[in-house]
Structure 1
Amino acid sequence: MNSRNYAYLSLALVTVSGCSTLPALKNGTSDEAISSALSSSVTQVPEKWSSKHTNSENVQIGWVDALEDKTLSKLVREAQQNNQDLQKAAANVERSWALARQAGVPLLPSVGLSGGADRTFFSNKSQQDIASFDWGIQATWEADIWGRIKAGQKAAASNALTSEADFLFAQYSIAAAVADAYFIGLEAKLQAEVARNNLTTLSETDRIVNIQYNEGLAMAQDVALSASDVAATKASLLLAEGARRDAVRALQVLIGRYPDADLELEEALPEVPQLPPVGLPSELLERRPDIIAAGQALKAATYSLDLAKVARLPSFNLTASSGSTSNELRNLFDVDQIISGIAGDIAYLLFDNGFSKAHIDQAKSEYEIALIDYAQTALSAFEEVETNLDQFEVVRKRTEALSESADQANRALDVARKRYREGETDLIDVLTIQQRVFSAESNKVSAEKQRIDEWIDLNLALGGSWKKSPQ
């Protein structure tokens, strides 16, 4: 056997040896296997939510418009157009799909065309200058026998789908963030109104006390107590007005405006809709964008592991070329001058100091991390829904109790004022009850705002879109 034949035999044996270790991954890990991994990673999903007050009908969409606040609806739509984070996420989606298209390019042949001309000049005029012209066309293609290129393409496509789901969840989150900032500002505006009303009442009381003091009917202690409450209420008013401006600035940044704190808000908090339909726990896994993104990330990690396993196997490349060279331009495309050829080659890495194995180990670790991330994302989503379902009812009852507290405090104040005018009680009793009224009214506003927060958080946790689908 000559040396050339021996070399060919050695290469064939190496190739066969490598192929014998090849797992059945020509078409990549099956969708069924990935679905099984996703299902087994999540804690047993119950048939229904634990709350007794739920409606298992399909989750509704369009929660922003359901609040019937025209200002909020306008601001949310403005944020969807102008928010910088959303624009960045949208650009990332475009980038991901561009990478996916790049990953699939090697599946098809690449073709290149070249052409040139040169002229050689001789200083010795007895020799004639020489002109040369050439052209060539070459096509190369790698036969994706083991599915290496296909695995890379599928991983890139899954990464792009992850970016799309992340972008969708970012849209939902921005809508909720705009609503949160808006209602923080509106709550602060209402708190300022409560403080302003309290200040008006206390100022009138303070005026009467000073008149009584000048007439010898009130003590200096009464004057000091009254002045103290007026000053404290002024401080509360300033704090509420400052909080409103801060919230409006944060809101303006979310919607892409300059934060000058100049933005009109509604005059009252909207009525909170009833508890929305919540669907079934199993449906949450297929609806929430962040869970979908985590599932696509796991798919990408799976395909990347497939790629790592077959990357060290032989690669097969075909090259076809055609072209010609001539000293005469008119003969450059003469059929007799054209030379064509086709060649194939096999490349196989014999030794890489353990790099391929380390690459596979890395891919396995990234797969395990993606699997854990998916399970944790799903578990956190279930927790958010269960918590918000529970708190929605708690906050509803708390709001009703605080509303009753405010009503009773106002009744007590009316009685105390009447008794004070008739000389049956001291001023300090009136001022104490007045502060209780102020506290009760403030707590009532906060509870009403918290109830809206819980309703929004529940819709976000359920994965319901903030806008209605176009008809």
Structure 2
Amino acid sequence: MTYQLTAVALILLLLSGCQSFSADDHREAIEQAQAQLPAWQSQNDSAQTATELSQLLSDPQLDQLIAASQAANPSLQQTLLSLQIAYAQQQLTRGDRLPSVDLGLATSDGEDGSSNSAELSVSWELDLWRKLADADSAAKMDLASNEASWQQAQDLLVANVMRGYLNYAQQQQLVVLEQQRLQLLQSNEAVILERYRVGLGDLEALDNAKTSTATTQATIALYQQQLANSIRTLQQLTGDSELSVAGTSTYPHVSQPLATLPIQDLSRRPDLQAAYFNTQSAYYSSKVAYKSMLPSISLQAALTDSANSMQDALFTSPAWSLLGQLTAPLYQGGQLKAQAEIAELESAQSYWAYREILLAAVLEVDEAIDNERNLSAQIAHLDTAVRSATRSSDSYLKKYRQGLVDIVDLLSVQQQQFDVESQQIQATYNHLVNRIDLGLALGLGVNQ
């Protein structure tokens, strides 16, 4: 008996030494990942006071589209169900730390009459090494990661609805602009045709006018197709195939998100939160893998009795028993050690995945801020160009009516005016979309 106790003690000592060495050797990399969070997690209170993503763009129709998408978007609803599944899975892991109670009832008939037996047993595994606690912590981190992914899905959906609505406004403005261009070209073509009939113009000018008219008609058809596609995109995002969107002749106002403290604002980014929680889950999972090589102790208590009637078997002087069991893995072909090494490598892998997402987040902010500056300058130049082109077009029209310039020169100036206005519409769209991208990059989102 003394020899057996000594052998068990020796095994416990060796396994404890192996576990401590592996965990300490790996903990340095995990602590580096943990050190990334406090700088931005501690800013959560201030981040919650930031402007929401949905508040960047003020438009009643857009608010209705966002509400419809949050209620009926198929992809978002699937993400919500995945979150609910994660909640249920976390309950499974929590149950491993609690005692289990089983009740067994049996009835048999024989020559000596009927016999009834009942057994009530309670079993519980002692969490000496906190292996079950670490498994529960890993499950909690997985749940937190799923919650962050759910938040990210909501943020991306709202951002896509806002982008889709801006694209719809852009395409509608381009259609209106090209229709105005077409009316002017058709009017000019009629004038050129009339002058040609009376011998005041040439066939080349008439062909150029017809070419411009046909090209504009083709452009209108293209923009109308893109307008229909933008409506279908909104229908898909809102989950409503019968959705209709009222026309809009201007862009809604989009405010610029505050970007003075991007490090604080990044604390709201759900992709960073999910990546961090993944590192924590992998860390606890690696601890569970190492502790699986340690012995486990379980206790079981049972109440048993048998009698002629089921009532007597349940309530009349039952016999009780208490069983303690020690289980220690001795040799499994190196599987436990391999599983621990795999868990350790996966933990290190999650750490580098977090670093990658963190770097991408910082670069996204830098890119969006650079785009904001460049697009603002581009729009300012285009505003100047539109005003100059409008004055030039009016001047050429007066000179043409006075016979001072040719019709070809007038058409060229008018085309230039419409081209610049078209560039202005598209640049404004890119500018407003970049405001949304900047809000996402800084961590602006929507309330759950």
Indicate if the aligned counterparts of 2:149 and 2:270 stay in contact, CA closer than 8 A.
yes
In structure 1, the partner of 2:290 is 309
Match of 2:34 among 29, 32, 38: 38
Structure 2: how far apart are the matches of 1:408 and 1:387? 31
| 1:454 maps to amino acid | N
> Structure 1 residues 344, 246: CA separation in 2 closer, same or farther (over 3 Å shift)?
same
| Superposition deviation, residue 204 in structure 1 | 0.7
Matches within 5 A, 1:3-402: 6-23=3-20, 36-39=32-35, 60-120=50-110, 128=111, 130-258=113-241, 262-273=244-255, 275-329=256-310, 331-333=312-314, 335-336=316-317, 338-402=318-382
SS in 1 for 2:129: coil
Unaligned runs of 5+ in 1: 46-55, 121-127
| Superposition deviation, residue 66 in structure 1 | 4.0
CA displacement, residues 343-382 of structure 1 (integer Å, 9 cap, x when unaligned) = 0111111111111111111111111111111111111111
Structure 1: how far apart are the matches of 2:11 and 2:31? 36
| 1:375 maps to amino acid | R
Deviates more, 1:281-290 or 1:382-391: 281-290
Indicate if the aligned counterparts of 2:53 and 2:155 stay in contact, CA closer than 8 A.
no
| 2:259 maps to amino acid | V
Deviates more, 1:131-140 or 1:281-290: 281-290
SS in 1 for 2:35: helix
CA displacement, residues 165-220 of structure 1 (integer Å, 9 cap, x when unaligned) = 11111111111111111111110010001100000111111111111112222111
| 1:429 maps to amino acid | D
Structure 2: how far apart are the matches of 1:328 and 1:395? 87
Number of aligned residues: 441
CA displacement, residues 424-445 of structure 1 (integer Å, 9 cap, x when unaligned) = 2222212222221121110010
| 1:311 maps to amino acid | S
| Superposition deviation, residue 331 in structure 1 | 3.9
| Superposition deviation, residue 96 in structure 1 | 1.3
Structure 2: how far apart are the matches of 1:81 and 1:57? 26
Unaligned runs of 5+ in 2: 41-45
In structure 2, the partner of 1:48 is none
Structure 2: how far apart are the matches of 1:7 and 1:63? 67
Indicate if the aligned counterparts of 2:47 and 2:267 stay in contact, CA closer than 8 A.
no
Structure 2: how far apart are the matches of 1:206 and 1:285? 57
Indicate if the aligned counterparts of 1:163 and 1:293 stay in contact, CA closer than 8 A.
yes
Indicate if the aligned counterparts of 2:266 and 2:442 stay in contact, CA closer than 8 A.
no
Structure 2: how far apart are the matches of 1:370 and 1:463? 21
Taking only aligned residues, the RMSD between alpha carbons, in angstroms, comes to 2.7
Deviates more, 1:32-41 or 1:451-460: 32-41
Structure 2: how far apart are the matches of 1:64 and 1:108? 44
| 1:263 maps to amino acid | V
SS in 2 for 1:23: helix
| 2:385 maps to amino acid | S
| Superposition deviation, residue 36 in structure 1 | 4.3
| 2:272 maps to amino acid | I
